[in-house]
Structure 1
Amino acid sequence: MTRIGYVLKVYPRFSETFVVTEMLAREALGDDLTIYALRPSTDSRFHPEIARIRAQVNWVPRPRRAIDMWELLANSVNEPDMRTHLAEILPAVADLPGDEVAQGAALARAARDAGITHLHAHFASLAGRTAWIASQLSGIPYTVTTHAKDIYHESVDPLWLRRICADADRVIAISRYNERYLHSVLAGTGARIELRYNALELDRFPFRPPAPADGPLHVVAVGRLVAKKGFDDLIDAVGILTKAGIPVVADIAGEGEERDCLAGQITALGLGDRVNLLGPLTQAEVRALLGRAQVFAAPSKPAEDGNIDGLPTVVLEAMACGTPVIATDVTGLPEVIRDGDTGILLPHSDPQALARALRELAEGTVDAAPLARNARALIERDFDSRAQAAVLSAWESTPELQEVH
């Protein structure tokens, strides 16, 4: 029997709706899932969809003291083969924090005891390292889905990235851009890289044609308030339009480390009645916000630390709903926002270009209706969570079940 262990740094995590969507689709297929979380959540809100997840959630113990670390290791690696494997990987894990190694051992013990047949880690960072350790100790194969920060950020250790991906059963890239990058940085490792986009439960995102402009142009942006989202460029663009006498209102939903900085920028530009920071919203609240919006803005850009967006799920949600999207030419975004076809694509870090695109929509010189229709067609074709789940399920089935697939 196939039993899948999902390895996640934090669960539940407000910003990672794609993980919940993926697990829901797999459970709908009949997959038997168990969740292993390495850190508790510190989020202030949670999506109601989490309540639909049937999988048991296990928080992998994290030792705080050296004596607890050694006790956890001893209790976890309590079979001869696991002790042998631990000795074999000690040179590799010697540079890791001791609590990570102990958590990897605890995951190996828990997965073996639960009869887990395959581990599935999201992000090739902490979750990927922990899955690697657990796999080395237990012999349970694993798959890792890579995203953005875990492969692009300046903190990424290339040795560990190559090690995790080389030993994975599959390495999943969430965009063609990421797939090309992984082929480059993993050259010579033998890593089996597969493209598999994050997807949506399409029934939760009904399409409605974009409404004609009536009053100020209503712009919506959603995401964590961090530098790579480019929300400062959106605020600048609203300032440019306001000075030009173009009525526009922007709602930015999310929470994060840049909130105070963005609030200060809004105040400095005198845009307190034009730009609203809404805080974190649930998926249902985001859908309602998209339904009221005339345009969705995704002004992503590379951050100074190398962090960069992958392919934001909320962009796909806007496209599914029929909200016209303006996005920048960052990583996977050009794969879905095809300029003049499924949306408007701009160079990143260019508030003037963003202001011009918003003005064209506000003045009706760009017809949003065909953009919205084409965007929905693309989402239906390539981003259905049922299709995504079927592929993942087939990849991670035990050998005897793979023959059935």
Structure 2
Amino acid sequence: MKILYHHRTRGRHVEGVHIRGIVHALRDLGHDVSVMSFPGADPEREVPEAAGGSGGRGRLASFVTKLPGIVFEMFELLYNLVTLVRMTQAWRTQAPRLIYERYSLFLFATVWLARRRGIPLVLEINDSALVHRVRPLTMKGLARRIEGWCLRHATGLVFISTYFRDEAVAAYGQIAPSVISPNAVDLSRFDPARFDRETLRRERGLSERTVCGHIGAFAHWHGVDDFVEAIANRLHDVPELALVFVGDGKTLPAVRALVAERGLSDRVLLPGRVPHEDVASWIACMDYAVLPNSNHYGSPMKLFEFMGMGVPMVAPDYAPVAEVIADGHTGWLFPRGDAAACVERVLELARLTDERRRVGHAARDYIASERQWRNNAEQLLTLVPAGAVA
């Protein structure tokens, strides 16, 4: 079946990982998939951070994202015209049997055109006008009206969590048929057998340590800064424990300053951002991991990458996280917002080697059976009318 994957993102970082995962899984299932990206974006190619995008079009994307709220949202609305032109051109050369779109706020042209042409369209919902966003919405009422129309008139919807779907139903009433499809992982890349664990640990100064790690953005809502501050005074209780926090962001300077002030540079390693292709090698150094905080609706990619590597995770009990982690079986949950409980669990597990290994094996088994990208691709195809899948 000819499938057109459409998205309006820059296709970088976690977005790019997700797009590549779905596209490659659909191709592995035998489908002919083409990708229509935001001009200048190329999610099928992992571009180094220093490259900064694809020339002038990449700089254009960076410029647009920095515009004031109302201006940025007007550009988002105008992008419907761009979408109509590009989709019409694509139809002339190679009409798809299915459109799969990563939903973006204010974007309705694809749904309208697909309905007009009688082509099934499945929307993947990773963002919404209903949830708290890093960039606040100015035209929230208009965004919600457009979103409700899209969710009611698509052929099918893919939500990353049950919480997300429940919020949509409560706000918009009867929406299109849907499935719950959390993130996933490519086990061929996240395979502990690929790595010489002891050599990596020795090269990174982690030999003879029990290592608890985290990979992700240093944004305040991820809670890394609060976690490091909460555990700093307790590290002397478990002298064998080392912490490795990979990534960067707004709170990283404050965390670096705290680590230096407390004299913990030999216990807390902060290597900064690493290319996604190197993430698995860092996870291979870890005995277990911690997610200090999340949000009510998201499906953190890091859960799946750690679990795929057989590294169990301590995580807050938000509903989307609890859909993936079975407490005491494939990971450990603590009451969200309770930093003290998180720290206690991390310290306790530092000395429970057999428990960490047991749960780590169960976590990888769960990912292998249920949460590879192929599972997501198979789920989304269940939303397509039988006659269209050929």
The TM-score range, normalised by the shorter chain, is 0.7 to 0.9
**Could you tell me whether the CA contact under 8 Å between 1:124 and 1:164 is conserved in 2?**
no
> 1:177: how far off?
2.8
**Could you tell me whether the CA contact under 8 Å between 2:157 and 2:179 is conserved in 1?**
yes
Query: SS where residue 116 of structure 1 aligns?
Result: coil
Query: SS where residue 233 of structure 2 aligns?
Result: helix
> 1:170: how far off?
0.7
Distance 2:25 2:184 in 1: 10
Distance 2:220 2:189 in 1: 29
1:178 matched residue in structure 2? 164
Distance 1:153 1:20 in 2: 26
Counterpart amino acid of 1:12? G
Distance 1:203 1:240, change over 3 A: same
User: 1:46-103, CA deviations, whole angstroms, 9 ceiling, x for partnerless residues?
Assistant: 379xxxxxxxxxx89x99xxxxxxxxxxxxxxxxxxxxxxxxxxxxxx9775532322
Counterpart amino acid of 2:372? D
1:389 aligned residue (371, 377, 389) = 377
> 1:118: how far off?
2.4
**Could you tell me whether the CA contact under 8 Å between 1:253 and 1:281 is conserved in 2?**
yes
> 1:9: how far off?
2.3
**Could you tell me whether the CA contact under 8 Å between 1:124 and 1:144 is conserved in 2?**
no
1:76 matched residue in structure 2? none
1:400 matched residue in structure 2? 387
> 1:34: how far off?
1.6
2:176 matched residue in structure 1? 191
**Could you tell me whether the CA contact under 8 Å between 1:323 and 1:372 is conserved in 2?**
yes
> 1:31: how far off?
1.3
Distance 1:276 1:125, change over 3 A: farther
What does residue range 358-373 of structure 1 map to in structure 2 within 5 Å? Answer: 358-364=346-352, 367-373=355-361
Distance 1:12 1:221 in 2: 23
Distance 1:111 1:225, change over 3 A: farther
1:120 aligned residue (94, 100, 105) = 100
Residue 219 in 1 paired to residue 212 in 2? yes
> 1:20: how far off?
0.9
List runs of 5+ in structure 2 lacking aligned partners.
49-56, 62-72, 199-205
> 1:327: how far off?
0.7
> 1:247: how far off?
4.2
What does residue range 1-400 of structure 1 map to in structure 2 within 5 Å? Answer: 2-16=1-15, 17-38=17-38, 40-41=40-41, 46=46, 99-114=78-93, 115-125=95-105, 128-135=107-114, 140-148=119-127, 151-154=130-133, 155=137, 157-187=143-173, 189-206=174-191, 215-242=208-235, 244=237, 246-302=239-295, 310-364=298-352, 367-393=355-381, 395-396=383-384, 400=387
2:203 matched residue in structure 1? none
**Could you tell me whether the CA contact under 8 Å between 2:121 and 2:155 is conserved in 1?**
yes
Distance 1:370 1:245, change over 3 A: closer
> 1:176: how far off?
2.7
Across the two proteins, how many residue pairs are aligned to each other? Answer: 350
Distance 2:82 2:325 in 1: 40
Distance 2:351 2:114 in 1: 57
Distance 1:151 1:260, change over 3 A: farther
> 1:252: how far off?
1.9
Distance 1:355 1:229 in 2: 15
The alignment's TM-score, normalised by the length of structure 2, stands at 0.77
Distance 1:100 1:148 in 2: 17
**Could you tell me whether the CA contact under 8 Å between 1:342 and 1:371 is conserved in 2?**
yes
The alignment's TM-score, normalised by the length of structure 1, stands at 0.74
Distance 1:234 1:42 in 2: 35
Distance 1:376 1:285 in 2: 19
Among all aligned residue pairs of Structure 1 and Structure 2, give the percentage whose two residues are the same amino acid: 20
Counterpart amino acid of 2:289? F
Query: SS where residue 152 of structure 1 aligns?
Result: coil
> 1:326: how far off?
0.7
**Could you tell me whether the CA contact under 8 Å between 1:5 and 1:111 is conserved in 2?**
no
The CA RMSD measured in Å over matched residues stands at: 3.5
> 1:221: how far off?
0.8
Distance 1:388 1:97 in 2: 28
Distance 1:251 1:198 in 2: 23
Distance 1:123 1:200, change over 3 A: same
Distance 1:309 1:259, change over 3 A: farther
